[in-house]
Amino acid sequence: MIDFDYKNPEKIVFKNIDIPGMRYVANYRKKGGYETARTVIAEWKPDDVIEEVKKSGLRGRGGAGFLTGLKWSFIPKDSPLPKYLICNADESEPGTFKDREILRFDPHSLIEGMIIGAYAIGAHQGYIYIRGEFAQEANVVNDAIEEAYKEGVLGKSILKTNWDFDLHLYRGAGAYICGEETALIESLEGKRGHPRNKPPFPAVQGFNQSPTIVNNVETLAAVPYILKYGAQGYRKYGTEKSAGTKLFSVCGLIKKPGVYEVPMGISFKRFLYETCGGPLEGREFKAIIPGGSSVPLITREMAESEECTMDYEGFQKVGTMLGSGGVIVYDNSVCIVRALEILSRFYAHESCGQCTPCREGTGWLYKVLHRIENGLGHPDEIDLIVDIANNIDGETICPLGDAAAWPVQSAVKNFRSEFEYHITHHTCLPGTAKY
């Protein structure tokens, strides 16, 4: 069993978040910040950096869980084109608010991670794409970048080595879809955030048709730790396939919502009850979405089962995914139909309108769910929404279509009776409220 103090969770890789004043470069350097980046650039070969990150087993923390080191190694070595490293700080997945903590309280570990990542893939230009709503966070990051330039951490011959790296902040303007890496690249090019077809993958043809790597904030911010303590040091936490620690952001109807860093592989049940304090007074859990709104929801029984551990494999075993680590908790007062209606409204609103199944399907799903919730559904419409969801699932350019379909499929599968009750009684199940 993984060793974890459920009662007093302490941050490990991201401990800086809890230390006040770490947004200033002087404080960050006092704690040994940027030393790792300097050592890496001065003493390591880029390939060795990629190898070390590969060995650490770090997987993309944005949702897909792809091995970061492997992604970096896809950059063509002999390409004459400039290479780019982009940080995806477009955190807009409902239920996810972990990156915001890093951006607000520990921007320098992100910058240091980007320096190391850029050195590994051979990029001299980097961009941080931050969502438009994070204006305050953008200011913090911007100040941090400016300070870093003044300190010689960014710019020409950074950290007294012969490596040049320029980093810029780019602010989005309200589009969930720009969290998808190719849509993010399009947006960074000043266009509408329309995802691109793959292949070609961004590692070959990304920003400005050049090789590009897009990594999540949490992924990049974990890189300095890995290089400092080595792959083995990072692997001290977590499991074989899900190495290291992960930030989970917990929200919804639970006693202690917030951002927690946990080593992967710990028990989800104990985490919910001991670390997050369990359900509100007099209530009990009903359903839980463990990885941001885009992953299938699971029932209380599934979440509390033995095999549901907090890692990529554990969540897969109970039919859901780790995703971005945004835990949304529904208790027994929640009407599942209403909750699903809210989510499908979100996906209908955020669909970019490019490809057919998502453009037409998400809007259709919302309209039908809206009717069912308001007591105007037909009995055959439960199968209809599942069928629409199945028709969207897997047929779109980017994963937004899947993300819109999975909550519907899982909600109907696990709580079909509630939908039926809505249709026959034209109202919510007794005891549940329309939030």
State which of positions 207-236 bind other proteins (CB under 8 A): 207-208, 210
Choice from 158, 220, 334, 412 touching other proteins (CB under 8 A): 334
- Binding mask of the shown chain, residues 113 to 132, with x at each position contacting other proteins by CB under 8 A: ------------------xx
Site string for other proteins, 80-109 (x = CB under 8 A): --x--------xxxxxxx--x---------
Q: What part of residues 243-282 is at the interface with other proteins (CB under 8 A)? A: 249-253, 257-259
Residue 189 interacting with other proteins (CB under 8 A): yes
Given candidates 35, 51, 313, 395, which one binds other proteins under the rule CB under 8 A? 395
Is residue 426 at the binding interface for other proteins, with CB under 8 A as the rule? no
Least gap, CB of 61 to other proteins (angstroms): 15
Tokens 């941080």 belong to: 128
Q: Which is nearer to other proteins, 211 or 252 (CB)?
A: 252
CA distance linking residue 133 with residue 131, whole number of Å: 6
**H-helix or E-strand containing 233?**
helix 217-235
- Cα dihedral 404, 409, 414, 415, rounded to 10, equals 70
Stretch that binds other proteins, among 4-12, 53-61, 359-367, 409-417 (CB under 8 A): 359-367
CB atoms within 10 A of CB 269: 17
C-alpha 58, offset from chain centre: 14
User: How many residues at the interface with other proteins, by CB under 8 A?
Assistant: 81
Binding string, residues 299-328; x marks residues near other proteins by CB under 8 A: ---------------------------x-x
Based on CB atoms, which residue is closest to other proteins, 40 or 322?
322
Q: Both tokens of residue 137?
A: 């966070």
What burial letters (b/e) apply to 399-410, b meaning 16+ CB within 10 Å?
A: bbbbbbbbbbbb
Which structure tokens are listed for 100? 């915001």
**Burial class, 148, CB count within 10 angstroms (exposed 0-12 / middle 13-18 / buried 19+):** buried
Q: Which of 48, 58, 53 is nearest to 237 (CA)?
A: 58
Determine the interface stretch with other proteins among 45-53, 150-158, 183-191, 314-322 (rule: CB under 8 A): 183-191
List, as one string, the DSSP characters of 79-118: --S--EEEEEE---STT--HHHHHHHH-HHHHHHHHHHHH
Give the one residue of 21, 76, 174, 375 binding other proteins; rule: CB under 8 A: 174
Instruction: Tell me the torsion sign for CA atoms 253, 258, 264, 267.
Output: negative
Q: Which of 79, 136, 232, 417 binds other proteins (CB under 8 A)?
A: 136
Residue 193 touches other proteins, criterion: CB under 8 A? yes
Residues in region 24-53 near other proteins by CB under 8 A: none
- If the CB atoms of residues 82 and 230 are measured against other proteins, the closer one turns out to be 82
Contact 370, 412 (CB under 8 A): no
Shortest distance in whole angstroms from residue 228 CB to other proteins:
29
